[in-house]
Chain A
Amino acid sequence: MGTMELVSDVSALFGRHMRHLARIPEKLLSVTLMPVAYVIVFGVLFGSAISVPGSDYRSYLMAGIFTQMMLTNVGNTALGVAGDLGNGVVDRFRSLPMSRSAVLIGRTLSDVALAVIACVTMAIVGYLIGWRVHQGIPKAIAGFGILLLLGYAMSWLGALIGLLARSAEAVNSIAFMLVMPLTFLSNAFIPLNGLPGWLRLLCEWNPVSAVVAACRELFGNTSTGTGKSALPVQYPIPLSLALIALLLAIVVPAAVGAYRKAAAR
């Protein structure tokens, strides 16, 4: 299978998913209204009530809100994949002389494109409520790069879940049970130094914490006085990249295998 053919298949499927954006209201809301609501609820509401040392809480929170948004890719991709599987579209694709991996690559890439739209929306709303980056634009872009990589890994994880669970109900509950602890057992919304030791250790080794910490560093929204921390929070940039790479290395082959099996029933 040539690379050119793969690119052509992926771009055709990418176009398909972008058309969906205009035609499925829930999907459009998930990249417009939802990010706005996230920033306003978490940023303004919590941000006004809590303070962290060395930074204003609103700015501190933004990296956490961005990261939380990336985690919603699990559910988005899983629902899309389960839907295609359920209504026979995957059967159609499999009867065509197209590249096997194009279906999942097209799906995950387009969900990342949606995450880009969500990030832009959130950055604008964040700016309006007073969030600023302090390390220059290139570092801020690098921060968004890490976020989108996380979003991509989460999409592949979602693809795997969608292929295994197959029904929208199951997908929703699995995605929720997975994303909830990942988000809240992390430094996304709270500084970790107030936590008891074991919980703090758990939260610090949560890959989400590394991504959030990396973004805070690249955006210049860090809090001072964190005390001694576990490795991921001390070196968040290399470690978040490494953890995302590890996740992709596990999830991509698993999803491709699951696709082959799930479709062949």
Chain B
Amino acid sequence: MDIAIEAEGIRKRYGDHEALRGVDLSVPAGTLLGLLGPNGAGKTTTVRVLATLLEADEGRASVAGYDVRTQPREVRRRIGLTGQYAALDERLTGRENLQLVGVLHRLGRRGAKARAEVLLDRLGLGQFADRTVKTYSGGTRRRLDLAASLIADPKVLFLDEPTTGLDPTSRLILWDMIREQLAGGVTVLMTTQYLEEADQLADRIAVIDGGRVIADGTSDELKAKVGGERLEVTVQDDAAIPAAVTALREVTAMEPVVEQPGRMVSVALCDQLKTVAEAASALDAAQVRPIGFAVRRPSLDDVFLALTGGTTSKEG
């Protein structure tokens, strides 16, 4: 399979602060790599290097087959970039913004005009086309920003926290647009703080922390790293906790974990169905009446917290 984005040992230093300490990435063509990490981990810096906005101090990177350092113009012809903040001209209308970007992309005046119409239509922006961007809602702005980055049919799309701060509906709309690009063969590198987003869209996920990729793989592979499924039993009052612990220990031969504030007792599962059934009857026999009884797979949040040592934060 073709590799559309490749980075090897990218380093970038700002004064005393080493933002990137040897980032390696490899994204096969037509797939989406989710770049996860806490604030300040180096996600945006990585995108800026790959999108030719920033020159790395060390390392080598190629995008769509061209070296970002020696052939930046060739790279720029083939990429689209949507930043954390929507980089649009507030005083121009949506249509004017798209046409401007199109002309600067060398589509020609007529070509830019035609392409702008297609994208306005496809991204459902028709009714906003003649209003200045200043009057747009956050979701509409992001959609227009995405449209601007699609104007020259990019082969590679960089999305830097594309849905941060959006309401759930706008987020779903944007997700669909991203999926559409993937279906069309576009390669996407997306940074996000939302693990659910990575889970939904990413073919592979790279977790970045302290300027380094500390784990990568598919969502399932990463979850498997953190451990298997757990049975979680919530009881009504503290007095029932010891009985629940004893019952679960007997059934699973594992040591249950008690979370006092939620009155939740959890234990790792090996043989799911059988253990769950046995646990249910053991609890019943011990006269424990659980108010919650659930099997939970580790979420990407668990992966994230386990890998980054809990430095996560959801602020923009």
Contacts and interface: CB of A to CB of B under 8 A. Distances in A.
Interface stretch (A36-44, A52-60, A93-101, A248-256): A93-101
A217 interface: no
Given A23-B132, A92-B148, A87 B85 contact: yes
B174 interface: no
B53 A94 contact: yes
A24 B132 CA distance: 12
A88 B106 CA distance: 21
B156 to A, nearest CB: 11
A94 B83 CA distance: 12
B106 A263 contact: no
A71 to B, nearest CB: 25
A49 to B, nearest CB: 41
B54 A8 contact: no
A23 B148 CA distance: 21
Interface stretch (B73-81, B198-206, B266-274): B73-81
Contacts of B90: 87
Most buried by B among A5, A19, A20: A19
A204 interface: no
B132 A97 contact: no
A94 to B, nearest CB: 5
A88 B87 contact: yes
A19 B81 contact: no
A135 B220 CA distance: 84
B82 to A, nearest CB: 9
Contacts of A264: 53-55
B123 interface: no
Given A16-B89, A23-B132, A87-B90, A98 B83 contact: no
Contact of B105 (A13, A89, A97): A97
Most buried by B among A12, A88, A92, A93: A92
Most buried by A among B79, B96, B104: B104
Contact of A12 (B77, B79, B83, B104): B104
B91 interface: yes
B251 interface: no
Main SS at interface, chain A: helix
Contacts of B103: 8-9, 12
A19 to B, nearest CB: 6
A92 B96 contact: no
Contact of B53 (A13, A19, A95): A95
B103 to A, nearest CB: 4
B215 interface: no
A94 B104 contact: no
Contact of A98 (B51, B52, B87, B104): B104
Interface in B123-159: 132, 148
Interface string B297-312: 0000000000000000
Interface residues on B, range: 20 to 34
Contact of B100 (A5, A16, A87): A16
B86 interface: yes
Contact of B91 (A23, A91, A97): A23
Contact of A96 (B76, B84, B85, B86): B76
Contacts of B80: 95
A248 to B, nearest CB: 26
Given A97-B77, A264-B55, A91 B87 contact: yes
A19 B52 contact: no
Contacts of A88: 83-87
A96 B85 CA distance: 17
Interface in B88-108: 88-92, 96, 100-101, 103-106
Most buried by A among B84, B89, B132: B89
Contacts of A265: 54
B55 to A, nearest CB: 7
B101 A96 contact: yes
Nearest to B103: A12
Contacts of A89: 87-89
A97 B73 contact: yes
A3 to B, nearest CB: 14
Contacts of A9: 103-104
A263 B84 CA distance: 15
The 9 closest A-B pairs by CB, nearest first: A88-B87, A92-B87, A97-B76, A95-B81, A12-B103, A98-B104, A23-B91, A97-B77, A96-B104
Given A13-B104, A95-B79, A264-B53, 8 more contacts: A9-B104, A12-B104, A88-B86, A89-B87, A91-B83, A95-B51, A97-B73, A98-B106
15 contacts: A12-B104, A19-B91, A19-B96, A20-B91, A87-B90, A88-B83, A88-B84, A88-B85, A88-B87, A89-B88, A93-B104, A94-B52, A95-B51, A96-B104, A97-B106
